[in-house]
Amino acid sequence: MEIIKTLEGMKIAQRRRAGQRVGLVPTMGYLHDGHLSLVEKSLSTCDITVVSIFVNPKQFRPNEDLDTYPVDLKRDIKLLEDLGVAILFLPKNADMYPEGYQTYVQVEKITERLCGKSRPGFFRGVATVVLKLFNTVQPDVAFFGEKDRQQLAVIQKMVQDLNLDIQIEGLPIVRDPDGLASSSRNLYLSPQARQSALCLQEALQLAQRRVAAGETSAHKIRSAMQDVIEAHPDTRVDYISVCDPLQFNELEVIQGKTLIALAVHVGQTRLIDNCLIERI
């Protein structure tokens, strides 16, 4: 595996590709099974797979966990090498955001809801870094997980609006054996907190059962999910959303394709999860 640490090095590597299909998996490292499913998909469908690891400061607010975000580069390198990844791109913060950096990409409207509402500036940081990675790596296809479904939608919208020639592929949520959606932030959870964290998955399952049984009131679904979460110690709801999966507008009546998404603070750790349902 080639490890490239400069933007210039990545551009030179890109020029060597000669018609080969390049897949990019952008990550913030501390890789889990969700990331690895993206890498495997890229390996099986592209000629060259590039994985980037960059903890992007522009998508953290001052009070968030930038300084404690988990890092284990040695382990990440071993995992990627074992899978057969061609290139690991490890840009430095000083190269990505040199002094005087001042350009940002803003996707409007869909970023005002759910995680965008709770974390102002988050999607601006995400869109900006992803565009920079796209311009540097110049992939044919890039892979993102559906756990961050709003992020996936924002990136798809950006690619479409800015006329980028890149295919965006979203892959299903990967779960740990206990059902918790795989996330680098799961590391933060104590054994007790991990028990409480199962409330996200439980709330989604309850919602799915209720809708399957005929419930059409989005309000009642949200309320039932809230009850599930509150029954677990040390939890605090950030949002519970029952919305359309394209614009992320909250629904009153559940009909057609519907996204159920939530963010919950478990102790100090903010976790997200979601599922897509279809009521015909």
Q: Which of 20, 93, 135, 190 binds a copy of itself (CB under 8 A)?
A: 135
> Does residue 87 belong to the site contacting a copy of itself (CB under 8 A)?
no
The answer to whether the beta carbons of residues 118 and 239 sit under 8 Å apart is yes
Tell me: does residue 132 bind a copy of itself (CB under 8 A).
yes
Interface with a copy of itself by CB under 8 A: which range of 32-40, 114-122, 163-171, 213-221?
163-171
CB 23 within 8 A of CB 50: yes
CA distances from residue 52 to 23, 97, 119 in whole angstroms, order as listed: 11, 16, 23
In the structure encoding, which two tokens stand for residue 236, read together?
């605090």
Q: Which of residues 28-47 bind a copy of itself (CB under 8 A)?
A: none
The letter for the amino acid at 233 is: P
| CA nearest neighbour of 129 among 28, 247, 49 | 28
Contact 279, 256 (CB under 8 A): yes
Site for a copy of itself in 88-117 (CB under 8 A): 101-110
Stretch that binds a copy of itself, among 25-33, 35-43, 126-134, 265-273 (CB under 8 A): 126-134
In the list 27, 49, 136, 182, the residue contacting a copy of itself (rule: CB under 8 A) is: 136
For the bound state, the minimum distance from the C-beta of residue 259 to a copy of itself, rounded and expressed in Å, comes to 18
Please state, as a whole number, how many other Cβ atoms lie within 10 Å of the Cβ of residue 62: 5
Chain residues in the site for a copy of itself (CB under 8 A)? 7, 11, 101-110, 127, 131-132, 135-136, 138, 157-158, 161-165
